[in-house]
Amino acid sequence: MTDQKKCVVAFDTSNYTTSIAMCDIDGRVIANLKSPLPVKSGERGLRQSDAVFAHTKNLPELCKRLSGVLDGYEPIAVGVSSTPRRAEGSYMPCFLCGMAAAESFAASRGLRVYETSHQHGHVMAAAYSSGESDRLLSGRFLAFHVSGGTTEALLVTPNEDKSDFDIQLVGETNDINAGQAIDRVGVALELDFPCGRELERLAASFEGKTEKRRVCVSDGCCSLSGVENIAAKMYKDTEDKQAVAAFGFDFICRTLCEMTSQILEKYGDMPVLYAGGVMSNKLMRPSLAKGRDALFSEPEFSADNAAGVALLTRFRAIAEVNR
């Protein structure tokens, strides 16, 4: 037992993906296991009851896969995302599945469970995969969490031991989220849900001039609901899926660019980290990075995952030992 390497295991059960991750004591992600939740063709998402059922089915299989990775490692702590965000009233039943799995895993080994938010996990995973986590966690930075469930700009201030960070909301959507907008454009084009990957493929193959519409951003906050109706009308008039897909991504990208510019003007220059499932899209990166100190998560760590939760748990477990 003494020859085994120390590690941390973490669970995340969002409304889109069942995730289990493991990192070693040196902060390297050893496993980032995921299983997407099934969504019926033509639907825009999952009811919470359906998400809970899907997680209940996915977790045993993912735990079996984790068992194979754990050989030669000794877990010292367990992490879990227990809420969507660290804010009063932030709650989704699907996170109870991860809580139950984490508590069961920890109880069988006599370990402590460290809770954090899904949002904190996203930010930490993105910082890790950006390749510049040490620089980011050494000072204040702006983090965008852009997904199907969230479109927020976050002013992130890490604490001294990097075991946690304060998050201040400085920008958000006033209506639907960017991921929802992408999926609604995709559903209008008769694509299977979730639509991001296929919509990106269509947009990447478009060779014409992308139609521009005025984006709606004020004081770092945006409105995105109009893109669905515009895209639906464009498709009805042209039947050009590639052009409509390109328009959808361009509209969302220009919205995020304007949000970034307004927030940096207000709070001053700082690194900008783009995280969340929508940031898996590489078509938007050149525009978002232009003229900024912009960092991006790799797709594996940008979509829902438990890796960030594991990394945060590692910092917190080490901080506990050093107190």
CA angle 199, 200, 204 (to 5 degrees): 120
66, containing H or E segment: helix 48-69
Cβ-contact 154, 144 below 8 angstroms: yes
Cα Rg, the chain, nearest whole Å: 20
pLDDT of residue 194: 83
If you ran DSSP here, which 8-state letter would residue 85 be given? S
If you ran DSSP here, which 8-state letter would residue 283 be given? S
Mean pLDDT, residues 250-270? 97
pLDDT, one tens digit per residue, over 205-230 is 999 999 999 999 999 999 999 999 99
pLDDT of residue 88: 86
Residue 2 has pLDDT above 90, yes or no: no
pLDDT, one tens digit per residue, over 92-125 is 999 999 999 999 999 999 999 999 999 899 899 9
Distance (Å, whole) CA 107 – CA 144: 35
Distance (Å, whole) CA 97 – CA 51: 9
pLDDT, one tens digit per residue, over 52-78 is 999 999 999 999 999 999 999 999 999
Q: What is the mean pLDDT of the chain?
A: 93
* Phi, psi (rounded to 5 degrees) for 38: -75, 140
Q: Compute the 3-state secondary structure of the chain and give helix, strand, coil in percent, each to the nearest 5.
A: 45, 25, 35
pLDDT of residue 323: 65
Residue closest to 222 by CA, chosen among 194, 285, 180: 180
Q: 20-24, 149-153, 219-223, 274-278: which has the minimum mean pLDDT?
A: 274-278
pLDDT of residue 46: 81
Residue 140 has pLDDT above 90, yes or no: yes
Residue 320 has pLDDT above 90, yes or no: no
Interstrand relation of 151-158 and 141-146 (parallel, antiparallel or unpaired): antiparallel
Q: Which domains does the chain have, with CATH numbers?
A: 5-130+301-322 (3.30.420.40), 178-296 (3.30.420.40)
Residue 44 has pLDDT above 80, yes or no: no
pLDDT, one tens digit per residue, over 3-12 is 799 999 999 9
